[in-house]
Amino acid sequence: MDEKKVFISVLLTSFFGPFMASSVNVAIPSMAQEYGLNAAELTGVLTLFLLGAVSFLLPFGKIADIKGRRKIYQYGCFGVAVSTFLCIFSPSLKILLILRFIQGVCMSMNFSTGMAMLIASHPAQKRGQVIGYSAACVYLGLSLGPVLGGALTEFWGWRTVFIFTSFGILASICIMQTVRQEWYGNQCEKLDIISSVLYFLFSSLILYGISNYSGHPSMKWLCLSGFILGIILIVRQKYTPFPLFNLSLFKNTIFTMSNIAAFIHYSATFGISFVLSLYLQVIRGLNPFSAGMLLLLQPIMMSVLSPFAGALSDKFEPRLVASCGMTLTAAGLFSLSFLTYETSFYHIGLILLVIGIGFALFSSPNNNAIMGAVSPSLYGVASSILAAMRMFGQAASMSVVSLLLTVYTNDIVAAAYLPALLEGMQKIFIVLSLTCTAGIFCSLARGSKKHNSV
């Protein structure tokens, strides 16, 4: 019975966490209007959530392994529900920004424990399948966020996005409240505070620097500082008696290459919906609803096929299934580089279906390979690292998109704007397809699942 409750509860947070992150995007103009600001001044509403989520992932993953994953998961759900509900009453941008950061911190408790509990509560032969369902909800949340968020904002105001999310998280809390079993990693370890601070600084500087690089080239110094702190963090793990993450994890080729493949895949795919949304509305003149409905083809395919792909990876080599998926995604991205003013919407829809199939075939098997490469005592840290790869990849993807759009449209006269914008989009999809192609080799290089777990 606990198995089913954990399954439903984690799937709810797997959907609502990413949904909240992506749905706020379309609410930014309405927020700006209410607070009397321009949209550019509200970028912190997006970045602070990501910063809070990423910079606490590994520490909470470690704490969950020591204190109990269900306990930390419940704390996270409660914190997300309360901070999300309070966003409804934000009287100023400053208060909203603080609450968004708290949301991200609390959500990191869910990101670092959800998959670990999901796997620990199910038999090994079902691991890929349950990961598939979780992945389906994550990508459904990311992709449906702009569509549902746009509808809520348009008809009832931007605050209803937070109302909808808080009730979804509340449902997850109620379900998990009846679960009595607890899951631990190594209870004898302790949290290394210095390593946690180093990780916080490293991840914050890197993520903030990447996210803002296109508009502020000086951000390269933040990235460099973060990189140096990252090296110090890694060196410290060799000598501290209670490392934040065990470096021996990365001696396992499957674990290391699968995480690199995950980072590359997110770097190549996260910007798709943003760029295509611009293309469909600005260049082709579709209204937001019609553009959103066309873009739904990809997440629908991902959601339908992810559980099947996960189950497939339980029977066959995850690296082969995932590599086939990444190949399809790369082919779809390359096809999008040929977009014109007259490309058929049916053709675009077909490409999105192909990318959706590729995404599903990659994600669940890749996650299965990562979690299958570690022992149960390390599930918390492993799922935290995987979540960090996802978010760093998302930030890198949007950085590439923003940089290339800026390069091709900056200082362009009005008459030449649309041709320059279209050319920039074509170049973006070429870069993303090449990035995804590089990921295929990482995916294939991970080796067989017959390797021993760490």
Structure confidence by residue, pLDDT tens digits, 147-161: 787 778 778 888 888
Same domain, residue pair 258 and 376? yes
pLDDT band at 452 (very low <50, low <70, confident <90, very high): very low
Give CA 375 to chain center in angstroms: 24
Lowest average pLDDT, out of 37-41, 95-99, 428-432, goes to 37-41
Q: Is the pLDDT reported for residue 448 higher than 70?
A: no
Q: Is the pLDDT reported for residue 453 higher than 60?
A: no
Report the distance separating Cα 201 and Cα 194, nearest Å: 11
Lowest average pLDDT, out of 121-130, 211-220, 285-294, 384-393, goes to 211-220
36: helix, strand or coil: coil
Domain range for 43: 1-185
Average pLDDT of the residues in 423-448:
86
Average pLDDT of the residues in 179-205:
85
Contact 401, 274 (CB under 8 A): yes
Q: Which residue has the higher pLDDT, 52 or 332?
A: 332
Predicted pLDDT of residue 451: 44
**Helices 288-295 & 297-315, crossing angle to 10 degrees?**
20
Write the DSSP assignment of 131-170 as a string of letters: HHHHHHHHHHHHHHHHHHHHHHHHHH-THHHHHHHHHHHH
Same domain, residue pair 169 and 288? no
Q: Is the pLDDT reported for residue 449 higher than 60?
A: no
Report the distance separating Cα 69 and Cα 74, nearest Å: 9
Report the distance separating Cα 74 and Cα 113, nearest Å: 10
Average pLDDT of the residues in 63-76:
88
Give CA 440 to chain center in angstroms: 19
Q: What is the pLDDT of residues 310-352, one digit of tens each?
A: 788 777 777 888 889 999 999 999 999 999 998 999 999 999 9
Same domain, residue pair 327 and 381? yes
- Joined tokens for residue 419: 């041709």
pLDDT band at 309 (very low <50, low <70, confident <90, very high): confident
Report the distance separating Cα 341 and Cα 322, nearest Å: 33
Report the distance separating Cα 376 and Cα 370, nearest Å: 12
Q: Is the pLDDT reported for residue 413 higher than 70?
A: no
Residues with Cβ within 8 Å of 228's Cβ and at least 6 positions away in sequence, in order, are: none
Predicted pLDDT of residue 355: 93
The total domain count for the chain is 3
Same domain, residue pair 176 and 222? no
- Joined tokens for residue 20: 């909240």
Same domain, residue pair 26 and 175? yes
Count H helices, E strands: the chain?
Answer: 17, 0
**What does the mean pLDDT of the chain come to?**
82
Report the distance separating Cα 43 and Cα 363, nearest Å: 28
Residue showing tokens 């916080």: 200
Same domain, residue pair 155 and 199? no
CB neighbour class for 89 (10 Å; exposed up to 12, middle 13-18, buried from 19): exposed
Predicted pLDDT of residue 332: 94
Same domain, residue pair 224 and 282? no
pTM of the model: 0.78
Last residue of a domain, one of 185, 207, 226: 185
Same domain, residue pair 70 and 7? yes
Same domain, residue pair 132 and 67? yes
Q: Output the CA torsion sign for 59, 61, 64, 70.
A: positive
- Joined tokens for residue 443: 């995916």
Percent of the chain with pLDDT over 90: 15
Of 437, 301, 426, residue with least CA distance to 359: 301
Same domain, residue pair 128 and 198? no
**Can you list the positions of beta strands (E) in 67-201?**
none
pLDDT band at 198 (very low <50, low <70, confident <90, very high): very high
Same domain, residue pair 280 and 141? no
Predicted pLDDT of residue 329: 94
273: helix, strand or coil: helix
Predicted pLDDT of residue 39: 52
Report the distance separating Cα 102 and Cα 99, nearest Å: 5
Q: Is the pLDDT reported for residue 25 higher than 70?
A: no
- Joined tokens for residue 12: 């709810």
Residue showing tokens 């209410």: 34
Same domain, residue pair 272 and 132? no
Lowest average pLDDT, out of 20-29, 61-70, 425-434, goes to 20-29
Average pLDDT of the residues in 231-246:
87
Q: Which CATH number belongs to the domain containing residue 88 in this structure?
A: 1.20.1250.20
- Joined tokens for residue 28: 């930014």
